[in-house]
């Protein structure tokens, strides 16, 4: 169905290994932000669907064949899934571009990289060892087991739907958990396509379930008593609501939230390279990334030079069809997001920031296309510098020296990412250590790896995804005490 541009693809929920309509009987349209037309329909689910999916995941975890598989067998399935995704990367990438308007070549790069997550965590599945504990009690042998946490509810946003799911799924499956996934109501199709590949790889029914619908379904999933962990990526405001309601059942949570990341250019940087990095940081993916370098901090000694080059290069960015190879920036992903971006442009002007370029819907392309926009003479107290826009809007802030740069960079409630541009190795590391952010790039921007922990300080989140330790977030540790003497013990004496 994906081959045909004109027909509307129809999808069902994926529960217990079966594609099915929602109990609500309703469907909703997925709109292509480039054409402005629907291209697929997915179920608009309800609470009954949440309950059915959680029951399937619970049964698969508690009594299904999944629980009896060895970790080595789980690893084998994950490797097979990686191979299937590598085979179908182009088709799956096209599907995400149609759903969220991001460049096809960026999504293709993402999908071609995704199998590595499955290979990395496949290798880790049977190396998840417990410890033998040096016992303080001579008649006890003590060891620990790392057991799978249980049923994971994964709730994902629209900007990189499956990449952000795989950050959770690959370590979670490797650890032996089962999943109920609630993708964004704007971009559900690629997760439903992933379900088909998971089935093809041979995962037993119920291990991976997908329910589609509005945010209220995510809320039902969070409240469900049979869910052991919620792994969420999305807005900070939603993350706070999730943390509050997860507290009701003491459900574990990991939260990957928003950012207002500082991109700091020192006078001793290679200016051309730094400006390219600033552009990649804010206009890549039309600024719709959690790690967007939305605050550009520039040392006063090079401020004019940086701004001139930045504005020149920003004006040259080619907007257009996300599927075309020459396009550098696609449309905003959906109508509410477009309104939010335009509102922030208005706010920035009202607050007295200087519009250096862009600042409106593109007059030629119209629709969801906003011009890449640079505001200069921003100070860090303005809303354009404190609130996440999630669009192609850059706030340029001057600074005097290193101390002031660090102070401005850290003066935010977020702490997801940051970058330092400097050719002075001492300064680059020194500043990187002082920045309160989960990821810091030196002379680079927007690089992630399955091997490197990713997550936020402060209101950018709780927990880390990726890297060796992330698999532990999908386990519980159990201590086992084994009595060695076999002697009859005094029942009223401890140990």
Residue 74 or 168: the one with the smaller Cβ distance to ligand NAD is: 168
Given the residues 31, 193, 256, 473, select the one marked as catalytic: 256
Active site residue 357: no
Side-chain half-sphere exposure of 161, counting CA atoms within 13 A: 29
How many residues are there in the chain?
A: 495
- Choosing from 122, 175, 181, 219, the residue that interacts with ligand NAD (CB under 6 A) is 219
- By CB under 6 A, tell whether 49 contacts ligand NAD: no
Please identify, using beta-carbon distances, which residue of 307 and 393 lies nearer to ligand NAD.
393
How far is 464 from 452, CA to CA, in rounded Å? 9
- 473 touching ligand NAD, by CB under 6 A: no
Stretch 351-390 residues interacting with ligand NAD (CB under 6 A): 388, 390
Per DSSP, 302 falls in state G
The three-class DSSP label of residue 139 is coil
Q: Closest CB to ligand NAD among 128 and 291?
A: 291
Phi, psi torsion values for 128, nearest 5 degrees: -85, 80
Please give the Cα distance from 176 to 69 (Å, whole number). 9
Number of residues that bind ligand NAD (CB under 6 A): 30
> Could you give the CA distance from residue 254 to residue 470 in angstroms, rounded to a whole number?
11
What is the spatial distance between Cα 276 and Cα 316, in angstroms, rounded to a whole number? 12
- For the question of residue 256 being annotated catalytic, the response is yes
Written as six digits, the tokens of 418 are 């940051």
Which one, 45 or 75, has the nearer CB to ligand NAD?
45
Contact between 164 and ligand NAD by CB under 6 A: the answer reads yes
Candidate list 2, 235, 365, 462; residue touching ligand NAD; CB under 6 A = 235
Give the alpha-carbon dihedral of 377, 381, 382, 385, to 10 degrees. 80
Q: How far is the CB of 71 from ligand NAD (least distance, A)?
A: 27
33 contributes a contact to ligand NAD by CB under 6 A: no
- What's the min distance (Å) between Cβ of 147 and ligand NAD? 27
Exactly one of 95, 185, 193, 290 is catalytic; which is it? 290
> Minimal CA–CA distance to 256: which of 381, 187, 177, 160?
160
Per DSSP bridges, beta strands 27-32 and 18-20 are: unpaired
Q: For the chain, what is the largest distance between any 2 Cα atoms, rounded to a whole number of angstroms?
A: 87
- Contact status: 155 vs ligand NAD (CB under 6 A): yes
Annotated catalytic residues are: 256, 290
Q: Which residues bind ligand NAD (CB under 6 A)?
A: 155-159, 164, 182-185, 215, 218-219, 222, 233-235, 238, 241-242, 256-259, 290, 388, 390, 416, 456, 461
């Amino acid at each position: 169905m994906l081959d045909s541009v004109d027909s509307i693809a129809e999808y069902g929920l994926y529960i217990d290994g079966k594609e099915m309509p929602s109990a609500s009987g309703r469907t909703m349209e997925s709109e292509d932000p480039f054409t402005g037309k629907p291209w697929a329909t997915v179920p608009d689910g309800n609470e009954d669907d949440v309950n059915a999916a959680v029951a399937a995941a619970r049964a698969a975890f508690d009594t299904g064949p999944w629980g009896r598989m060895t970790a080595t067998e789980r690893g084998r399935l994950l490797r097979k899934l990686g191979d299937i995704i590598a085979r179908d990367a182009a088709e799956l990438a096209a599907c995400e571009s149609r759903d969220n308007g991001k460049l096809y070549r960026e999504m293709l790069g993402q999908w071609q990289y995704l199998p590595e997550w499955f290979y990395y965590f496949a290798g880790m599945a049977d190396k998840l060892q417990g410890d033998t504990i040096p016992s303080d009690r001579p008649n006890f042998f003590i060891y620990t087991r790392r057991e799978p946490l249980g049923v994971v509810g994964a709730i994902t946003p629209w900007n990189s739907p499956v990449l952000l799911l795989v950050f959770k799924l690959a370590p979670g499956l490797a650890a032996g958990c089962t999943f109920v996934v609630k993708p964004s109501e704007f971009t559900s199709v690629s997760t439903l396509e992933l379900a088909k590949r998971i089935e093809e790889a041979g995962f037993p029914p119920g291990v991976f379930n997908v329910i589609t619908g509005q945010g209220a379904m995510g809320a039902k999933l969070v409240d469900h008593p049979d869910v052991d962990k919620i792994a969420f990526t999305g807005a900070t405001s939603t993350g706070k609501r999730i943390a509050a309601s997860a507290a009701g059942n003491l459900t574990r949570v990991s939260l990957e939230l928003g950012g207002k990341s500082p991109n700091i250019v020192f006078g001793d940087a290679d200016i051309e390279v730094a400006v390219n990095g600033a552009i990649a940081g804010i206009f890549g993916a039309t600024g719709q990334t959690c790690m967007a370098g939305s605050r550009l901090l520039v040392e006063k000694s090079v401020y004019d030079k940086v701004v001139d080059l930045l504005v020149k290069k920003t004006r040259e960015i080619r907007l257009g069809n996300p599927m075309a190879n020459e396009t550098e920036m696609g449309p905003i992903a959906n109508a509410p997001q477009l309104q939010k971006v335009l509102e922030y442009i208005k706010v920035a002007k009202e607050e007295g920031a200087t519009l250096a370029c862009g600042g409106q819907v593109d007059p030629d392309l119209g629709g969801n296309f906003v011009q890449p926009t640079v505001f200069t003479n921003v100070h860090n107290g303005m809303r354009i510098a404190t609130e996440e826009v999630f669009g192609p809007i850059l706030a340029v802030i001057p600074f005097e020296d290193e101390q002031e740069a660090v102070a401005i960079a850290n003066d935010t409630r977020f702490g997801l990412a940051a970058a330092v541009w400097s050719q002075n190795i001492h300064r680059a590391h020194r500043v990187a250590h002082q920045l309160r952010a989960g990821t810091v790039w030196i002379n680079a921007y927007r690089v992630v790896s399955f091997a490197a922990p990713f997550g936020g300080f402060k209101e950018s989140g709780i927990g880390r995804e990726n890297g060796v330790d992330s698999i532990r977030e999908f386990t519980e540790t159990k201590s086992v005490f084994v009595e060695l003497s076999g002697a009859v013990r005094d029942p009223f004496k401890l140990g």
